[in-house]
C-alpha cells in the first residue's frame, strides 16, 4: 500500500488535477474576493474557453497553447461585458455584501443558463474533441501524456505568475487590499472601480485559460461546466473565501484527496470523502485553511 | 397599371411560382420532444440530427407517402430540458393542442417510459429508439415499440459469449454508478461466472470522476486478459486517455457507451483502434443496402459521423414509421396494426416486432478498426473478425 501511495504516477495525476483545480478556484476567488460576486456561471466560462480552443484548433490546426493570450483576452472581455451590464451599477451602490452575494447568485444563474443554451444553439450539444500533444512520454514507471504535461506546466506557471503579480505589483497589492477591506482600501486611495474591472478581467481570463488546458485532455460540450463550478466553490471555501493563497493550496489538497481516496478506499468513496471533507472544513474552519477567525 | 405592366407582372408571378416547390397537400405534422438542455443534452443531438436528415430526405424526395399521396413533413418539437415528466406533459400537448399527425420518440429510457403512458392513454402509436433497459418489457404493448437490441439482459450473456469465443479467461471491470452501467453490470457478472471467466477486479466509480489513474493502476495490477469499462460518454473519454497514458495492454478493451461518438475517434485517432463497444449497426454491412447511404448522407449534412447506436436507432424508427404510414396512412388504429404486424426494411436490415421488442436484430458489438467501425459480433452479421 505504502509503495502504491508513493507512486510517481499518482503524484503526477494529483499534480495535474491540483494545478487545474487551483487555477479554476483562483478565477472564482478573485471575482468573489474583490466584489463578493458569487459566480455560479464560473464553469460555463471555462466551457467557453474550451470551445474557443476547440474551434481555434479545428479552424487553424495550430496549437491552442499559441492562442492562450487570445482566449484570455476573450475571457476577460466576457467578464468586463458582464461587469458593465449587470454589476457595476449595483456595486456602486455600496450595498451590504450579503445583498450583493444574493443578487449575483441569481444573475449568474441566468448567465449560466443563457451561456449553455446559446453555445448549444450555435454549435449543438454534440461532444467535441481534438487530438493535440498526445504522445506518451515514459520515465521508468512514470508515464505522462504531452497534453497533461502542457496543462500542468501552463497552470503552475500561471499560478506562480499570479502570486507574484498579487504580491509585487501595485495593482496586485490594490487587489489584495480590496479583498481584505473594501472601505479601508478606498480610504487609502485605491481606485475601487478600476481594481474591480481588472479583477473580473483576470478572473475570467484565468478561467478561460483553464478551459483551454482542459479541452486538450477531455471532451468539450456546452453542459460540461457544472462540475467545475462545484469544484471551484469547494476549493475557495476550503481555502477561505477571497484567500488567494489558501485557494491555491486547497486546489492541490482537493486533488490529493480525490486521487488518494480512490487509491486507499474505493472510487465509490470519492464523492463521499470530498464532500464530507468539505462539510467538515466548513464546520471546523469556516474561515478556510489559512484564514484567521474574525472576532465578533 | 397598363396592359404591358400587367403581363410582365403575371409572367414574373408564373416564373416565381415555378421556381418554388409546390405542395398540393397539407403537411404531415410530426411532433417530438428532445433533451436540448439539461443533463442529457450532450447525448441527444445524434438522435435529433437523424430525424432532421430523414425529414429533409423525405421532402426532397417529394414528401411522405401517405397511402399513395405525397405530403411534406413538418416537425413540431419542444425542448423537454432532460426532464422525463416534462416530456410526458409536452407529448400530451402535442397530441391534444398541437394536433400532430404522428409522433417520434424523445431521447433516453426514462423519457420513453414516461411517454409510453401518454401513448397508451391516447392510443397514439410511437416507434421508440434510444431506450435500452429491461424495464421496456414492462410497458403495455400496443402503442410503443423498441427497435433496439441493446438490452442489458441480452448484452451480458452476448458479451460473455464473445469473450469466451476470443479466448479471454479473465477480466477487470470498472463501472459508472449510473443506471445503464449498473443494469449491465448486474447481468454481466453472472454471465461471466457462468462462462467460466474470472473477474479479477470490479470497481464502481461516480459519474463526476475527474481522474482514473488509481483505477487504471488497479486494472494494470490485476493483469486480466480484458478490461470491461461500463462507461457513459464523458468517462469513456477519461478512461481511454488515461489507459493509453498508463499503457493498459489487455487483449481486449470494451467500453459500454462512448466509442461510437464522432468526437471519440477525433480525440484518440489510431490509439482507439481495437476498442470494442455496444452497437448493432455499421455502414460496412453490405447486406443492409440502406446503411452506407445513410452514413454518407449524415456525414455530408452534419460534417461528422452518426452515432452508431443512437443515430442509427433514431433513423430506423423513422424508417419504420414511414413504411407503416405508406400502407396504413395516418389513422391510429390502422397504423398500430401496420407496425405490430409489419416487417420493415431499415438501415439495420429487417425489423419485426414481437410485443414491444424488435425480434430480428441481434445484440451486437462493434470494434474500431482503422478509420472504420466494424461489426465483430455475432458472427452471422459481422463485417470483420474481432482483432
pLDDT tens, position by position, A3-59: 667 789 999 999 999 999 999 999 999 999 999 999 999 999 999 999 999 999 999
Lowest-pLDDT range of A116-120, B22-26, B227-231, B377-381: B22-26
Is residue B39 predicted with pLDDT exceeding 90? no
Nearest-angstrom CA–CA distance, B227 and B249: 9
- CB atoms under 10 Å from CB of A216, counted, come to 29
Query: Which whole number is the average pLDDT over B243-261?
Result: 95
The tens digit of pLDDT for each residue in A74-93 reads 999 999 999 999 999 999 98
Query: What is the percentage of chain A residues whose pLDDT exceeds 90?
Result: 75
| A249 and A257 Cβ atoms separated by less than 8 Å | no
Most confident of A138-142, A149-153, A290-294, B40-44: A149-153
Q: ipTM of the predicted structure? A: 0.90
Query: Which member of B38, B215, B244 has the closest CB to residue A262?
Result: B215
CA distance B34 to chain A (A): 12
The answer to whether the Cβ–Cβ distance between B41 and A222 falls below 8 Å is: yes
Contact A120 B37 (CB under 8 A): yes
Beta-bridged to residue B35, according to DSSP, are none
Q: Which of A76-85, A237-246, B20-29, B44-53 has the lowest mean pLDDT?
A: B20-29
- What whole-number percentage of chain A has pLDDT above 70? 96
Tell me what pLDDT residue A288 has. 79
- Considering the entire predicted model, what is its pTM? 0.89
Residue pair A24/A210 in contact (Cβ under 8 Å)? The answer is yes
| Average pLDDT of span B294-303 | 97
pLDDT in tens, B312-350: 999 999 999 999 999 999 999 999 999 999 999 999 999
Task: Transcribe B213-224 into DSSP letters.
Answer: HHHHHHHHHHT-
Q: Do B214 and A221 touch (CB under 8 A)?
A: no
Q: A291 falls in which pLDDT band (50, 70, 90)?
A: low
pLDDT band at B20 (very low <50, low <70, confident <90, very high): very low
Q: How far apart, in whole angstroms, are the C-alpha atoms of residue A222 and residue A215?
A: 12
**Nearest C-alpha of chain A: how many angstroms from B73?**
23
Q: Which residue has the higher pLDDT, B19 or B370?
A: B370
Interface probe with B: pick from A7, A13, A149, most Cβ of B within 10 Å: A13
- Confidence (pLDDT) at A11: 95
pLDDT at B138: 84
Average pLDDT, chain A: 92
Interface test with A, best of B209, B255, B267, B310 (most A CBs within 10 A): B267
Range scoring the smallest mean pLDDT among A3-17, B148-162, B263-277:
A3-17
For residue B38, count CB atoms less than 10 angstroms from its CB and return exposed for 0-12, middle for 13-18, buried for 19 or more: middle
Look at A258 and B262 and tell me if their CB atoms are within 8 Å. Answer: no
- Best probe of the A interface among B172, B211, B269, by most A CBs < 10 A, is B211
Q: Which residue of B has its CA nearest to A268?
A: B205
Task: Name the residue in chain B with its Cα closest to that of A267.
Answer: B205
Residue B23's pLDDT band (boundaries 50, 70, 90)?
low
The arithmetic mean of pLDDT across residues B295-307, rounded, is: 96
Q: Which of chain B's residues have a Cβ under 8 Å away from the Cβ of A265?
A: none
Residue A269 is assigned to a structural domain of this protein: no
pLDDT at B24: 66
* Mean pLDDT to the nearest integer, A197-203: 97
**In which band, very low, low, confident or very high, does the pLDDT at B6 lie, cut at 50, 70 and 90?**
low
Chain A residue at shortest CA distance from B242: A145
Nearest by CB to residue A10, choosing from B204, B208, B214, is: B214
Report the residue from A17, A145, A259 with minimal CB separation from B241.
Answer: A145
Q: With CB atoms and an 8 Å threshold, state whether B42 touches A222.
A: yes
Contact state of A268 with B261 under an 8 Å Cβ cutoff: no
Flag whether A189 is in a domain.
Answer: yes
pLDDT of A3? 66
Q: Which of A127, A266, A268 sits opposite B233 (nearest CB)?
A: A127
Give yes or no for residue A294 having a pLDDT over 90: no
Contact between residue A24 and residue A231 where contact means Cβ atoms under 8 Å apart? yes
Query: In whole angstroms, what is the distance from residue A224 CA to residue B235 CA?
Result: 12
Q: In whole angstroms, what is the distance from residue B112 CA to residue B58 CA?
A: 25
Integer Cα distance of B308 and B283 in angstroms: 9
Cell readout for B98 is 398541437
Residue in chain A nearest B270 by alpha carbon = A131
pLDDT at A124: 87
Asked if B267 lies within 8 A of A270 by C-beta distance, the reply is no
Sheet architecture: strand order including B343-346: B343-346, B349-354, B357-358
In a domain, A262, yes or no: no
Residue B16: is its pLDDT beyond 80? no
Q: Residue B37: list chain A partners with CB under 8 A.
A: 113, 116-117, 120, 223
User: Per the CB < 8 Å rule, is B37 touching A117?
Assistant: yes
Reported as a single tens digit per residue, the pLDDT across A35-50 is 999 999 999 999 999 9
- Nearest residue, CB atoms, A131 vs list B174, B245, B268: B268
CA closest to A265 among chain B residues: B214
pLDDT of residue B2: 55
Cβ pair B163, B171 in contact under 8 A: yes
Let me know if residue A294 belongs to a domain. Answer: no
Question: Which of B213, B234, B237 to mutate: most A Cβ within 10 Å?
Answer: B213
Domains and CATH numbers, chain B: 28-150+288-358 (3.40.50.2300), 152-278 (3.40.50.2300)
Q: Would you place residue A95 in the very low, low, confident or very high pLDDT band (cuts 50, 70, 90)?
A: confident
CA-to-CA dists, residue A212 to A39, A63, A81, A255, B190, angstroms: 19, 10, 21, 19, 43
Does residue A190 contact residue A178 with C-beta atoms inside 8 Å?
A: yes
Chain A residue closest in CA terms to B258? A127
pLDDT of residue B28: 98
What's the gap in Å between the CA of A124 and the closest CA on chain B?
7
Please state, rounded to an integer, the average pLDDT across all residues of chain B: 93
**Domain of A117, in residue numbers:** 22-225
Mean pLDDT calculated for residue range B349-357: 95
Task: Look at chain A and report how many structural domains it folds into.
Answer: 1
Other Cβ atoms less than 10 A from the Cβ of A84: the count is 12
Closest C-alpha to A152, from A20, A285, A2:
A20
pLDDT at A141: 87
| Closest residue to A227, CB basis, from B45, B205, B208 | B208
Nearest to A221 among B36, B42, B267 (CB): B42
Instruction: Give the nearest partner residue to B263 out of A116, A120, A219, using CB atoms.
Output: A219
pLDDT-derived band at A267 (thresholds 50, 70, 90) equals confident
What is the reported pLDDT for A270? 83
Residue B263 has pLDDT above 90, yes or no: yes
Q: How confident is the model at residue B363 (pLDDT cuts 50, 70, 90)?
A: very high
Amino acid at each position: 500500500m505504502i509503495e502504491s501511495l508513493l507512486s510517481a504516477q499518482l503524484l503526477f495525476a494529483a499534480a495535474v488535477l491540483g494545478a487545474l483545480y487551483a487555477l479554476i478556484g483562483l478565477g472564482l476567488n478573485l471575482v468573489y474576493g474583490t466584489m463578493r460576486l458569487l459566480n455560479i456561471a464560473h464553469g460555463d466560462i471555462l466551457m467557453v474557453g474550451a470551445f474557443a480552443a476547440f474551434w481555434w484548433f479545428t479552424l487553424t490546426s495550430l496549437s491552442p497553447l499559441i492562442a492562450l493570450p487570445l482566449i484570455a483576452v476573450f475571457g476577460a472581455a466576457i467578464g468586463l461585458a458582464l461587469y458593465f451590464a449587470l454589476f457595476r451599477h449595483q456595486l456602486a451602490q455600496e450595498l451590504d455584501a450579503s445583498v450583493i452575494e444574493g443578487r449575483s447568485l441569481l444573475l449568474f444563474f441566468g448567465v449560466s443558463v443563457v451561456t449553455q443554451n446559446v453555445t448549444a444553439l450555435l454549435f449543438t450539444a454534440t461532444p467535441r474533441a481534438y487530438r493535440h500533444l498526445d504522445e506518451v512520454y515514459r520515465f521508468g514507471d512514470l508515464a505522462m501524456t504531452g497534453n497533461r504535461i502542457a496543462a500542468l506546466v501552463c497552470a503552475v506557471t500561471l499560478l506562480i505568475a499570479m502570486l507574484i503579480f498579487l504580491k509585487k505589483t501595485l495593482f496586485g497589492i490594490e487587489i489584495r487590499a480590496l479583498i481584505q477591506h473594501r472601505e479601508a482600501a478606498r480610504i487609502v486611495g485605491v481606485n475601487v472601480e478600476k481594481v474591480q474591472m481588472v479583477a473580473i478581467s483576470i478572473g475570467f481570463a484565468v478561467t478561460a485559460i483553464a478551459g483551454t488546458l482542459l479541452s486538450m485532455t477531455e471532451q468539450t460540450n456546452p453542459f460540461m461546466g457544472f462540475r467545475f463550478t462545484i469544484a471551484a466553490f469547494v476549493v475557495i471555501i476550503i481555502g477561505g473565501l477571497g484567500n488567494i493563497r489558501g485557494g491555491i493550496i486547497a486546489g492541490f489538497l482537493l486533488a490529493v484527496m480525490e486521487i488518494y481516496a480512490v487509491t486507499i478506499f474505493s472510487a465509490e468513496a470519492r464523492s463521499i470523502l470530498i464532500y464530507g471533507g468539505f462539510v467538515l472544513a466548513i464546520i471546523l474552519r469556516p474561515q478556510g485553511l489559512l484564514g484567521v477567525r474574525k472576532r465578533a | 397599371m397598363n396592359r404591358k405592366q400587367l403581363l410582365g407582372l403575371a409572367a414574373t408571378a408564373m416564373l416565381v411560382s415555378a421556381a418554388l416547390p409546390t405542395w398540393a397537400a397539407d403537411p404531415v405534422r410530426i411532433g417530438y420532444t428532445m433533451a436540448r438542455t439539461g443533463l442529457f443534452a450532450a447525448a441527444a443531438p445524434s438522435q435529433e440530427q437523424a430525424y432532421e436528415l430523414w425529414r429533409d430526405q423525405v421532402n426532397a424526395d417529394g414528401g411522405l407517402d401517405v397511402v399513395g399521396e405525397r405530403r411534406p413533413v413538418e416537425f413540431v418539437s419542444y425542448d423537454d430540458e432532460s426532464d422525463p415528466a416534462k416530456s410526458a406533459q409536452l407529448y400530451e400537448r402535442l397530441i391534444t393542442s398541437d394536433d400532430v399527425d404522428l409522433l417520434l420518440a424523445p431521447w433516453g429510457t426514462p423519457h420513453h417510459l414516461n411517454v409510453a403512458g401518454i401513448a397508451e392513454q391516447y392510443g397514439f402509436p410511437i416507434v421508440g429508439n434510444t431506450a435500452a433497459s429491461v424495464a421496456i418489457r414492462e410497458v403495455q404493448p400496443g402503442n410503443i415499440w423498441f427497435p433496439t437490441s441493446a438490452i442489458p439482459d441480452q448484452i451480458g450473456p452476448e458479451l460473455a459469449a464473445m469473450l469466451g469465443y476470443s479466448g479471454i479467461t479473465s477480466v477487470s471491470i470498472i463501472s459508472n454508478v449510473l443506471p445503464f452501467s449498473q443494469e449491465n453490470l448486474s447481468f454481466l457478472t453472472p454471465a461471466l461466472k457462468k462462462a467460466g471467466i474470472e473477474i479479477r477486479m470490479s470497481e464502481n466509480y461516480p459519474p463526476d470522476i475527474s481522474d482514473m489513474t488509481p483505477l487504471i493502476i488497479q486494472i494494470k495490477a490485476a493483469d486480466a486478459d480484458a478490461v470491461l469499462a461500463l462507461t457513459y460518454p464523458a468517462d469513456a473519454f477519461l478512461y481511454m486517455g488515461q489507459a493509453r497514458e498508463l499503457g493498459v495492454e489487455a487483449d481486449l478493451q470494451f467500453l459500454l457507451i462512448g466509442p461510437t461518438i464522432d468526437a471519440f475517434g477525433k480525440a484518440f485517432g489510431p490509439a482507439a483502434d481495437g476498442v470494442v463497444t455496444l452497437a448493432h449497426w455499421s455502414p460496412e454491412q453490405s447486406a443492409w443496402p440502406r446503411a452506407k447511404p445513410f452514413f454518407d448522407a449524415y456525414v455530408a449534412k452534419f460534417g461528422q459521423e452518426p452515432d452508431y447506436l443512437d443515430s442509427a436507432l433514431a433513423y430506423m424508427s423513422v424508417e419504420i414509421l414511414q413504411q407503416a404510414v405508406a400502407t396504413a396512412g395516418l389513422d391510429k388504429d390502422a397504423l398500430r396494426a401496420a407496425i405490430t404486424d409489419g416487417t420493415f426494411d431499415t438501415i439495420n436490415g429487417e425489423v419485426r416486432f414481437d410485443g414491444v421488442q424488435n425480434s430480428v436484430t441481434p445484440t451486437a458489438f462493434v470494434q474500431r478498426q482503422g478509420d472504420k467501425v466494424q461489426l465483430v459480433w455475432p458472427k452471422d452479421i459481422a463485417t470483420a473478425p474481432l482483432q
